[in-house]
A and B are shown apart, each in its own frame.
Chain A
Amino acid sequence: MTEKTERKPIPLEFEKPLQLLSEQIQALESQLSDHPELEKDVDRLQDQYRRLKKSLYSNLKPIDHLAIARHPQRPYTRDYFDRWDSAWIELHGDRKGSDDEAMVCGLISLSKDIRCIALGTQKGRALRDKQLCNFGMPQPEGYRKALRLFKHADKFGLPVVTLIDTPGAYPGLTAEEHNQAQAIAVNLMELAGVSVPIISVVTGEGGSGGALAIGVANRILMLEHSVYSVISPEGCASILWRSADKVLEAAQSMRITAREILELGVIDGVIPEPLGGAHHDYDFAAEQVREAILGELRKLSKLSADAIRKDRQDKFRKIGAFSES
């Protein structure tokens, strides 16, 4: 099941200069045996490459973070689960007539002493897979499946870990008929009452209500290049600017990046990614996320059941910016 990590990362648009330079270096290197005098040039170019890489990734624009968060090779929920616990047990179905593949749920041992209920939205990798997972957009049934697991966790006193990577809840005909809005709303309400610790990590795209429906947590963490927003930058651009090509502006204005959302006080921490993004090193990314979750869970384990619920409700109670005169 575990995918190999040696795949060659596909460069993104803003990474193109880096790729060009790397190709030049390779070309020069291949001639090195015949022309040893080229070594100086190679060294110089490699130095240039390192500097460019550093400056490129330390000056990412929101739109670049968005591109990394949506990278087709970005590790998905199953990639994390497989690495955390190769023997994790998957649980299926909402018990009401459906099993949504876009929501993956299971029993996972995060470490020797910490077991948890883990669930998350799943984008598919191959086309068939993508269709099965509906491109990571759950139907109401997916949220109800998650709710079943939240209650399961509460019953057995197991902490909950949720991984968020979704463009949003699916906007479709049957999704509406089966009451997508209610499925999300009920999760928001019921999550407030859960008395076991909940940790949410935005690993890719945090797409509005569809993300929040599994994200009402005691601690919310975001991967360095992940994004979280009230509406997709494309949607925002087409509504506020009435133009689909204003995505850049919309991404900028909405403050969608992990750092900005941390500054707004909505999330509790940012998990560093390998240089260039999590898709450059799955194992490293998975380990970083696992350690961050374990750290938070250990801190929360000291709280009583009531205190855990209160901690979570207080966290959201405080969010908002307004004035009273």
Chain B
Amino acid sequence: MDLKEWFANRQKRREREDFVVKQPLSTEEYCALWTQCFQCRELLYTKELRDSLHVCPKCQYHFRIGADQRIEQLADPDTFKEIDATMTSADPLNFVDTDTYPNRRRQAEQKSGIKEAVITGTCKIDGNDAALGVMDFAFFGGSMGSVVGEKVTRLIEKAIEEELPLILVSSSGGARMQEGILSLMQLAKTSSALKDLSDRGLLYISLLSEPTFGGVTASFAMLGDIIIAEPGARVGFAGRRVIEQTIRQKLPADFQTAEYLLKHGQVDMVVERSSLKSTITRLIEFHRPLIARGQTSPNGKSKVGRA
């Protein structure tokens, strides 16, 4: 076989259907294998990053994580029981910007793999029963519309009913504009439910994660009996750009970070992800009621004495 023949054969081989040329990995696939740290630019093996709770081993940068990962990190294995899993928002305003709201919501669902920006349920945390709600920034920027408001409110009501400590993990850009004034009213709805929870003497721990802004900060995120922030998380009412445009001056580099909040008396503590679960456990156990609540409660249920 001369060279010319060989080339001709090769062409034929290629044309045969069963001949598959192994494609090199696509950019996306490479990106999925490796993750670059946003802070120190270190290239990290994604698998290892997952094992370190999505915290950069080099610089301790806390990556944003999804609701499912957060639940996995906080709840005891197989104890999380989701509630209101099928709730989806309507389109009360028939909102259209450059696309319709239902279309945007569908895209958000495909992108994030979840149905709404918060996942709620009950679980055990180191054996302690708790009501746990986790927001996910990947769905619509973690924005709060009717569904987030309703799910959080129902979770609070469940905590009241079953006398559970409440843990809410916030991560949100604020209220969802596409539901207009109805989104704004969710601030009042959730805060009102927290008033009832507080009146019952039940514990609410608020965990602020990167990033938490606007309507969520101006309602349940800032109402915790104990407020914890993750290192480096940016938390505030108005966004940095809006403030800079308003006051026309440069803001400090660490403005609105968890550490800045701690310095200004806005959070109780900044806790690294690796010790979050143990910290929450200690807080729950410390606040376990001294007097049996069940003796006075109408349903006669008592949680005292349970580990």
Give the contacts of A206-233 with B (CB-CB under 8 A).
Answer: 208-209, 212-213, 215-216, 228-231
Find A212's partner among B146, B188, B223, B266 (CB 8 Å cutoff).
B188
Mask: chain B, 80-121; 1 = CB below 8 Å from A; 0 = not = 000010111111110111100000000000000000000000
B238 touches A171 (CB 8 A): yes
B86 touches A176 (CB 8 A): no
A216 and chain B: residue at smallest CB distance? B188
With both chains docked as a complex, state the minimum distance between the C-beta of A230 and any C-beta of chain B, in angstroms: 4
Give the contacts of B190-221 with A (CB-CB under 8 A).
Answer: 191-196, 198-199, 214-215, 217-221
Contacts of A171 in B (CB 8 A): 237-238, 242-243, 246
- Chain A CB within 8 A of B294 CB: no
With both chains docked as a complex, state the minimum distance between the C-beta of B37 and any C-beta of chain A, in angstroms: 27
B189 touches A320 (CB 8 A): yes
B95 and chain A: residue at smallest CB distance? A253
A241 touches B243 (CB 8 A): no
Contacts of B249 in A (CB 8 A): 173
With both chains docked as a complex, state the minimum distance between the C-beta of B224 and any C-beta of chain A, in angstroms: 10
Mask: chain B, 270-299; 1 = CB below 8 Å from A; 0 = not = 000000000000000000000000000000
Find A241's partner among B88, B97, B192 (CB 8 Å cutoff).
B97
Give the contacts of A23-72 with B (CB-CB under 8 A).
Answer: none
A229 touches B90 (CB 8 A): no
With both chains docked as a complex, state the minimum distance between the C-beta of A245 and any C-beta of chain B, in angstroms: 14
B237 touches A181 (CB 8 A): yes
A176-B238, A180-B238, A254-B180 known; A188+B186 contact, CB < 8 A: no
Contacts of B138 in A (CB 8 A): none
Mask: chain B, 157-193; 1 = CB below 8 Å from A; 0 = not = 0000000000000000001110111111111110111
The B interface, classified by DSSP as helix, strand, loop or mixed, is: helix
B184 touches A208 (CB 8 A): yes
Contacts of B95 in A (CB 8 A): 253-254
B150 touches A186 (CB 8 A): no
- Chain A CB within 8 A of B130 CB: no
Contacts of B86 in A (CB 8 A): 324-325
Alpha-carbon separation in the docked complex, A323 to B237 (Å) = 30
Give the contacts of B45-98 with A (CB-CB under 8 A).
Answer: 84, 86-93, 95-98
Contacts of A249 in B (CB 8 A): 97
A178 and chain B: residue at smallest CB distance? B264
With both chains docked as a complex, state the minimum distance between the C-beta of A105 and any C-beta of chain B, in angstroms: 21
A176 touches B256 (CB 8 A): yes
- Chain B CB within 8 A of A316 CB: yes
Mask: chain B, 140-160; 1 = CB below 8 Å from A; 0 = not = 000000110110010000000
Alpha-carbon separation in the docked complex, A264 to B88 (Å) = 18
Contacts of B133 in A (CB 8 A): none
Contacts of A254 in B (CB 8 A): 93, 95, 177, 180-181
A181-B221, A321-B182 known; A209+B92 contact, CB < 8 A: no
With both chains docked as a complex, state the minimum distance between the C-beta of A160 and any C-beta of chain B, in angstroms: 15
Contacts of B194 in A (CB 8 A): 189
B182 touches A209 (CB 8 A): no
A231 touches B177 (CB 8 A): yes
Alpha-carbon separation in the docked complex, A7 to B30 (Å) = 70
A179 touches B243 (CB 8 A): no
A231-B177, A264-B182 known; A313+B149 contact, CB < 8 A: no
**Using a CB–CB distance below 8 Å, which chain A residues touch chain B?**
169-173, 175-182, 184-186, 188-193, 208-209, 212-213, 215-216, 228-231, 235-236, 239-241, 249-250, 253-256, 261, 264, 266, 312-313, 316-317, 319-325
The 7 A-B residue pairs with the shortest CB-CB distance in the complex, in nearest-first order: A171-B238, A320-B146, A188-B191, A192-B192, A181-B217, A321-B92, A181-B237
